[in-house]
Structure 1
Amino acid sequence: MDKRYKQSRYNFFFDAEDGTHLAFNAMSGGLAIIEDGNRDEVQRILADPNSYRSDTEEKKRLWDSLLKGGFLIEKERDELAVLKMRNRVGRFNTDSFGLIIMPTLQCNFRCVYCYESFPNISMKPEIEEGIVRWVRERTRFVKTFHVSWFGGEPLLRFDVIKRLGSEFKKIAEDRGCQYGMSITTNGYLLDEEKIKQLVPLDLQRVQVTLDGPPEVHDRRRPLANGRGTFNQILENLVALDRLAPQVHITLRVNFDKTNLMYVPQLLHILPQGLRDRAGIYFRHVFSYHRNWSDMKCEKLANPSQNIAELQKKSIMSDFRHDPADSIGPMAAYCYADYWNRFVVGPEGNLYKCTVAIEPGDRVGYITPHGKAHTTPLLEKWASVDPFEDEECRNCKWLPVCMGGCSRPRVYGEAKVCFIEQGAAKEQLNNIYWQFKKEAQKLAALSVAL
C-alpha cells in the first residue's frame, strides 16, 4: 500500500525583508527559500499531498524537498509523540555528563544588575578531592564529559581551575571519553599567561560580556573599586584571538533601556579579527531575585524584538550568529533540564541552575569522599513536563522551546513564555541574511580564485 502524507503542524511561511519567500519547519529545523514561481505549487502540495501528481521533474523536486525538510510527513506520524520521545531520550540520556563548576562566589566586578551577593566562599582542597572522586566514578560509562567554569568570577581561583582541569583531563583519557572545557568570565583577568595555561587543558570556548562602548560598559560593569574594565577586557580578547585560534569566542551583550541605543557602537569599534571569528548574542536584563526598583536598569517593552534587531545589526557588522541565539529543534530548553548535568558550588553543593544557588535550591551535595547525596528537589526538576501544559502542547513553536525555563514550574511560579512569534520570525530572517551573506563571500572568493 502506498504511503499517505500530510502537512507538518509545525510549518511557518513568511517573507524576508527583501521579499524572499521563506519556509521554516520547527520540528526539523529546515529553513527553505521558495522561488516566486513555485509558491502556489508548494501550497497545492501541502494542501492535498495525497491527490497531488508529481508528473514533471520540477514537481518531483519540490515534493522531495518538502519531504526532506520535514514540511511534508507521513500521515501516520504523531509529531507530538515524536517530540515527547525526543524530550525524554535527550533529557535522561546518560552517555554525556556535564558540570558547571563555581570555584568561588567572589567577584572582582560590581555590575549594576548582578543578582549575586558575593559571599566570601571559595572551594577548599577537601571539596576538590571529593569532586575528583565523584567525577571518576560518574564517568565510568559516559562517552562525553564537559566542564564549564562559572562564578562569581572563576579566574579568581585560577589555581582550582588548573588543578581540577588537569585531573578531569586525565580521567577522560583513562575512560576513553571525549572531553572539553569552557569558561564564562568577565574577561578582566584572562591575560596571556592564563590563556597559555588554559589551552592545554582542552579549553574549547570562552564567553565574555561587553555591554557597549568603553564609557557605557564601564558604568555598567566596573571593578569593585569603581574603575573601568573595557580596555583590559578588549586587550585580553585580542590576545585570546592571537594565541588560541581554535578556541571559540562568544561575546554576550546585556542590555536594558539605558544602554540599548549604544550597543551598535560596540559592534563597530571591535577589531575586525574578533568580528570575523566571534559569535555574539544579546540578552535583556530581567529580574529573578531583585525588585526592579533596586536595580540601576530600566525594563524594555519588547525585548525579543530588540534582540532580533541587534542580531541583524551584528550580522551586517560581520559577526557570526551565535548558537545561543539560534532557533531550531531541541530536546530540552536548558542544561538544567538534563538529568546528567549539575551546577557544583564552592562548598560541594549541587544545583540545577546558576541563578538558583540559595540554600533552598540545593538538589544534593558531594562529600569529601566522593559520594553524592541528593534531595527531593532533584526529583521535582526531573519531573517537569511541558507536555502537561495545554498551551505549550498546542503551540507551533514547541519544538524550538520545549516549554521554556523549568525553574518557574519547579517552584510553582507563573510560567514565562520565551517565544514571541513576531520576534522569532525576525530571528529566522536574520539566519537567512547570514546564509545569504556567507554565500556572497563564497561567490566573491570563487571569483578571486
Structure 2
Amino acid sequence: MYSLLRPKRRSFGRQSFSRRARIEVLEDRRVLSAPTVADVNIGSTAWTSSFVDYLETANLGADGYAIPVGSSSQLKTLPWDNLDQIRITFSENVDVQMGDLSVSGVNQTAYAFSDFSYDPNTYTAVWTLVTPFAKDKLLLDLDGDGIDPVQDSVGNVLDGEWTDGSSTYNSGNGTAGGDFEFRFNVLPGDASQNGAVNYSDSYAVLMARGKEAGMTGYSIFHDIDGDGVVTTDDWYGVYFSMGHALPAGNPAGMTNDAPTTTGFAEVNVDEDAADVVLSLFDAFDDAEDEVENLAYSVVDNTNPALFSSVGVDTLNGQLTLAFAQNAFGSAELTVRAMDSGGLFVDTILSVIVAPVNDAPVITNFHVTEWQGCWVLSGNVTDVDDDLEGMVVTFGGILAGRNVETPVNGNGTFLIETDLEGVPSGLVSAQTVDPHGAPSNVAWCFVLVS
C-alpha cells in the first residue's frame, strides 16, 4: 500500500513526503524483498543455562553457538558431544515448517528431527534432532525453491544462496528463490578444532579442569558437555574420542537435494468413519527423482490404537487410514519420503477422531417359565457408557403393563413377572442410554399355556 499524505510545503518551495508516508514506503519495500537467513546457531537441549548465558554474554551466540561465517572458521570443528539443535533466524517473519530443512552428512546420510518450533517474534526456527550429532561433515539445506519453500507473508520465497567460507549474513544473491546450503563440521572432543582428536586436546582439557564460565582461562571449547564448568567428564569425553577425525568426502546433500513436502491437511473424522485415503504424490516432490520413485513410509505413530491399519501403497502413492472400531482421540503420524540417494523429508499428519455416541445393544434375551412365573433375562452392552442405571422396558404382549427392570453393572438384567391373562406372542425388550440413544429391540416368542 502506497498511502501518501499531502506533502508539506517548505518556505523555499520544495516538497517532501510526510514521516508517515516515508515509513509506509519503507515497509512496502521490506515486504517486497525476499526473506533471507540472518543467523545460524547450533546448540543442545543438554546445555545448562549458565553455559548458554555465557555464550550470549561473550557475544558467541543466542540460545546456542553462532557458527562463525565469512572465513574458513565456518568449517572449524565443533567439539561438543551433545549437539542436537539447529536454530535459524530469518530477516523477517516467514512461513517455515519442519520439513523445509534437511541435514545430511558423510557418516550418516540424513538426520531426522524429533521436534520443531518457530517464534514469530524473533523470526527464529528451531529443529531438534532425534539423536545428537556424532563426528561428521554436515550440510544444512533449507528449502528455497521446492514444492512448498520458506516464504514470507506476501509469498516472497527464500533468497538463500550461500558460499561456504566467504559469505556473510544475510544470505542470498538479491533474487528470491534459492536454497540456503550451509556447511559445518562436528567432531566431539576436538578442543583445538583442528579436525582430529589427539593428545593435545586431552592435555588442554585436563589442565583446564575446574575452570567455570567467565573465569580467566575458561574456554567453551574445553567444556565438551556444555555445563558451564570444565570437569573430569569433559576430559573423559576427549579421552574416549582419541584418534577420531572427520571423515573423507562430502555430505550427501552436496550432490543431491532432499525431497520437499507441502505436508498434509489435518484429518478430522467421526468415530467409526470410513477409510481415509491421502495422496502421497501430491504431498511430496524431489528435484532429482520422480515422486513415483520415492520410498514412502510411516516412521512414527503416537496413537496406534486409533487405527485398525495404516497402509502405504508406494506404487499408487496412497496412504490409507483405517480406523479402529469404537476408537476416538488424536494421533500424529510422521510420514517420510526418501529419495534414491538416501535423503529424506518428514512431515507430520495430524488425525482427530471425534467420539460418537454408540447406542446400547441387547443380546441373549430369553423368556422362560420357572415355578409358576415367567423370567425375562438378557444382556446389555454399551461401549461408551456405564450400564448401571439403565432400565430395560418390555413390550409386545406386555405393552401397557409397565414391566421394566434396571440393568446390573455387569450388563445383565432379570425380572420375574406374571403372564396370567396374557396371550401367547412376542415379548420385546429395549433400553435407552444416558444420552437418549435407544438400543435395538430384542424379541422373544412366549407360548402361554
How does the TM-score come out when normalised to structure 2? Answer: 0.20
| TM-score (norm: length of structure 1) | 0.20
Larger radius of gyration: 2
> Which of the pair is proportionally richer in strand?
2
Higher relative contact order (CA 8 A, sep 6+): 1
